[in-house]
Structure 1
Amino acid sequence: MGDVKKSIPDVEEKDLQVGTITEFDEGEVFLHTHAITHENIQRLLDDEPRNKALIRKVDLILLPLLAGTYTLQYIDKSALAYSAVFDLLSSTHMTSNQYSWLASIFYFAYLVAEYPWNILAQKTRIGLVVSGNVIAWGSMLMITAACSSFAGMAVCRFLLGQPFRAGVFYSCNGLGAMLGGILTFGIGQIKTIAVWRAIYLILGGITVLWGLLMLVFLPNDVISAKRFSVEEKSLLIGRNRLGRTGVINHQIKWYQIREALVDPQVWILFWFTLLNETINGGVANFGKLIIKGLTHDPLTTVALGIPMGAFQIFFILSGTFIASRFRNCRTIVMLVYLFPTIIGASLLWKLSHETHKVGVLFGYYIIGAYVCSLVLALQMPASNLGGYTKRSTSVALVFLAYCAGNIIGPHAFLAREAPLYQTGCKLILACSSAQAVLAVLLRVLLTYRNKKRDSASEGNLEAVAANDDLADMTDFEVSHLYPLVFMEKC
């Protein structure tokens, strides 16, 4: 460690008080255990080359695992839509209405399981929880291939909704759509068993193998990660404390739950996500059936669906790049990237599927721009909210909306309207327009909060420098004590 360590007697007396340490998160406990002072951490934070090297190391370890996991879960979740293009409905004697409920039932389980899994991850080892659930997910996917009726499919689909998801790496949505299309196109050549069964068996098997890989390489948290030195862990803790949100705290703080429930920002994000996923619930499960109405050939349908993945990659990467490159423009990007969805839904609704097939396909390809808006919205609890329990509660609420929207969406795509699905197109237009209004309201709220904090600040940065604790404070608490430290990202 060299100059990073400092002897116990030199650490400030208040840092060693037993009563204080019990309120610290594990990051602060780690610093005390290794006798690392906040002055040492500041020297590490000031070392720009060391920070860049550490960020690269974190990216190389975590991003491939989490991005791969999200790509696979997107492909796996789309297995139902891919199967419907082939022989799922006829093989299981399923009606279109039952198919809609099959698309929804996954999210009923997710709705119930999300918060308990968040608590389990908070109180135990998150890496183990994620890896175990990826393996369970793949196994259940393979079991689904044995079903021969709607009832059996419904049970398996429900159980698929319970595993904990690894993050919100929506930038892998497009990649998953492309790889899923290519894999399904290849699987569609199989003649020995029903194609839909082969889809579930092969995709499930790949996911189980990936879950075993995650079990070996995914760390549980910063503190227990084996591939980081004490110095690197200290620097990671220091980078986390810049946002005054702490690293991890296993104590459930009820006042933070109450604060999350009265925060207008949380509820705007809740409704934004609900509307967004109502769109997604329809597009994800019926989009390929819309394409099938243009060609009637399953393999051609799968092939024509692949470009949508490329469009999603473009929308997500361009939107998030702009939001990162220009300060306080995230809500603007959220608004602007809803326009292609509005245009795409209008094309699907108004163009003839017989004489304007290219226009209909283009509308289908650009309709996925709404995913970029969701990516930015889902980042806000982590970047704008402080307090571990408040963030966990807010994330759980947003994902409740995520589930509810996906439950609602498929039922607007009525069998008698296939393959145009006029009611579904109208729903997409209504939801995306309402989202645009919410994006504007969110920007107004966050801008107001930032201006209020600017006017309230009286040189509190010196007080922040003197306050070395890593208390698990919420954004409301931090903004009250140190207005300039915690600025809302808008």
Structure 2
Amino acid sequence: MEKEKQPEIAPAPSVDEGQSATEKQMRDIGADLYLEVQQYSREELDAERKIVLRKIDWVIMPMICITYTIQFLDKLSLNYASAYTLIPDLSLEGQRYSWVAAIFNFGYLFWALPANYLIQRLPVSKYTGVMILTWSILLCCHVAAKNYAGMLVLRFLLGMFEASISPAIMNIVSMFYMRDEQPLRMCIFLAFNGMATMVGALLGYGLGHASSALKTWQLIFLVIGVLNFVWSWVFLWMMPDSPSSAKFLSHKQRIVAIDRIAGNMIGVKTLHFRPYQIREALLDVKVQCLVLIALACGVINGGVSNFASSLIKGYGFSGLSATLLQLPTGAFEFFLVPLCGLAAGYFKNTRCIILALICLPPLGGLLGIRLTGLEHRWTLVGCTWLQYLVGAPVILSWNLLTTNIAGHTKRSTANGLWFLFYAAGNIAGANIFFAREKPRYFSALTGLITCYCGMVGVSLFLRVWMGWENKRRDRLYGAGEDEQAVVDGFKDQTDGEANHFRYAL
């Protein structure tokens, strides 16, 4: 059978002959394997695709899901510790606790852009593993905190080193999965934040009954820190940096893996930094819309993740009960968020619409908290549980970034801006819960309601804009998403430069 001819991508079939170090750096790390695709017929490649996908799912997805579970436990640790004697022990009363919660996001904000550029330039799994190891040590150091100042320093450094994890995982997913496969996988791993909520609630409740020389809040930090420390070494050992270096795949299967994701039209990864792509990212309407969604998600997350215990205690429950009552919030996130990803992957061009629709239940929950009397405390608890669906708009906006931003420097910039605005939102969200407004926090509720309404409007506008741009390109350049689009992706062209690139709505 005649083998299907693949287009040439790069200046020469070998990167080793006649090329300078700079030229090698500018070349996509998957380009060489993509050139080998022409050695096989399309039938041979297609026959291996399901096997490769299954192997990737069995290795990459468990690694990502466990990583997400333990790192989200880190973020929740302060919330669970606050249900015990952390606040009086370290003199964190009033707005001091708000600032301890918020300072994490200052560290996150400080490192958001550098983290994304380092992820582009360095082996992603090695960099991420070192970050996990570092923050595990920092978390254990919380046990020794003696005062407000010490907690501020530790939480800032923790936020700084955790700023890499989400963009690194986004990078890994875009390197291993096709466009229509990404929404479900991304929603699955984010749903493990819900698993972390359930594990953390049980852990906090169990440690609350433990007899130890350490106080309960110290045990919470220590146990979660040790879990992260052990996992960091597993991650460093098992997680590959790209399909090209995946040891669990044979050489032919690595070629198939590259062939699979070639249709994403963004290549795999290039180590070369292209400054002009920064400017394009800053001026891109899509990026501007997505960072506004990031800001809104951050405000909601910053408030809910740090003040869920305070809200539930305000309805008339004890500290132990407030911790245990957060268990169902994890189930909400764990089971409902993947359904959004399943729908977004199954129904073509529905990402923006689903993002808008999933904002409505938590918006209704906020209105319920604001309008329901305190005597109906179980209704108020149920409305609070709905706030944990914020993971769905977060992950769908991530997917819109990974599928619609081409050019590796541009995508690193866009990712960095997303997390920078998300961190800024978290800072604002943690500081609009004023202690004087207990137990309803009316100012905070108004802010969160405004954020959800804004996300609905921005996501619908984004869908209209990208749909209009796709039609304009079809009219000027013909049908896109073809072999030329694949070639442009391996050349590290941006979605603005590549006329055959089309947006996933």
In the TM superposition, what is the alpha-carbon distance from 1:137 to its structure 2 partner?
1.1
Check whether the contact 1:244–1:472 (CA below 8 A) recurs between aligned residues.
Answer: no
Q: Deviations over 1:378-429 (max 9, x none)?
A: 1111101111111111111111111111111011100011121111111111
User: Aligned equivalents of 1:343 and 1:148: distance in 2?
Assistant: 41
Letter in 1 for 2:326: G
User: Aligned equivalents of 1:246 and 1:465: distance in 2?
Assistant: 10
Of 88, 91, 114, 1:90 maps to 88
Distance 1:297 1:13, change over 3 A: closer
Distance 1:12 1:350, change over 3 A: closer
Stretch of structure 1 that moved more, 327-336 or 235-244: 235-244
Residues 1:188 and 2:208 are matched in the alignment: yes
Residues 1:487 and 2:485 are matched in the alignment: no
In the TM superposition, what is the alpha-carbon distance from 1:466 to its structure 2 partner?
11
Instruction: Give the corresponding residue for 2:181.
Output: none
Instruction: Give the corresponding residue for 2:108.
Output: 110
User: Aligned equivalents of 1:324 and 1:11: distance in 2?
Assistant: 29
Of 395, 403, 422, 2:423 maps to 403
Distance 1:407 1:42, change over 3 A: farther
User: Aligned equivalents of 1:367 and 1:469: distance in 2?
Assistant: 38
Check whether the contact 2:351–2:400 (CA below 8 A) recurs between aligned residues.
Answer: no
Check whether the contact 2:84–2:319 (CA below 8 A) recurs between aligned residues.
Answer: yes
Q: Deviations over 1:455-487 (max 9, x none)?
A: 223467887399699311111222x2x2xxx22
Of 49, 52, 70, 2:50 maps to 52
Check whether the contact 2:281–2:414 (CA below 8 A) recurs between aligned residues.
Answer: yes
Residues 1:365 and 2:380 are matched in the alignment: no
Instruction: Give the corresponding residue for 1:340.
Output: 361
User: Aligned equivalents of 2:377 and 2:110: distance in 1?
Assistant: 41
User: Aligned equivalents of 2:219 and 2:53: distance in 1?
Assistant: 40
Three-state SS of the structure 2 residue aligned to 1:287 is helix
Q: Deviations over 1:12-38 (max 9, x none)?
A: 995458469644212113556xxx2x4
Q: How does the TM-score come out when normalised to structure 1? A: 0.91
User: Aligned equivalents of 2:257 and 2:398: distance in 1?
Assistant: 23
Identity, % of aligned positions = 30
Three-state SS of the structure 1 residue aligned to 2:245 is coil
Of 439, 443, 462, 1:423 maps to 443
Of 359, 372, 397, 1:377 maps to 397
Instruction: Give the corresponding residue for 2:66.
Output: 68
User: Aligned equivalents of 2:485 and 2:224: distance in 1?
Assistant: 52
Unpaired stretches in structure 2, ≥5 consecutive residues = 171-188
Instruction: Give the corresponding residue for 2:284.
Output: 263
The residue correspondences of 1:39-438 to structure 2 (distance < 5 A) are 39-40=38-39, 43=42, 47-163=45-161, 164-166=164-166, 167=169, 169-192=189-212, 193-353=214-374, 355-438=375-458
Distance 1:11 1:297, change over 3 A: closer
User: Aligned equivalents of 2:482 and 2:47: distance in 1?
Assistant: 26
Q: Deviations over 1:317-356 (max 9, x none)?
A: 1211111111111111111111111111111112122x10
Instruction: Give the corresponding residue for 2:184.
Output: none
Q: Deviations over 1:299-331 (max 9, x none)?
A: 211111111111122331121111111111111
User: Aligned equivalents of 1:291 and 1:465: distance in 2?
Assistant: 52
Three-state SS of the structure 2 residue aligned to 1:413 is coil
Check whether the contact 1:41–1:235 (CA below 8 A) recurs between aligned residues.
Answer: no
Residues 1:474 and 2:488 are matched in the alignment: no
Stretch of structure 1 that moved more, 245-254 or 463-472: 463-472
**Coordinate RMSD, CA, aligned:** 2.6
Check whether the contact 2:136–2:226 (CA below 8 A) recurs between aligned residues.
Answer: yes
User: Aligned equivalents of 2:47 and 2:97: distance in 1?
Assistant: 54
Stretch of structure 1 that moved more, 242-251 or 77-86: 242-251
Distance 1:462 1:187, change over 3 A: closer
Distance 1:294 1:468, change over 3 A: closer
User: Aligned equivalents of 2:377 and 2:334: distance in 1?
Assistant: 23
Check whether the contact 1:244–1:473 (CA below 8 A) recurs between aligned residues.
Answer: no
Check whether the contact 2:90–2:146 (CA below 8 A) recurs between aligned residues.
Answer: yes
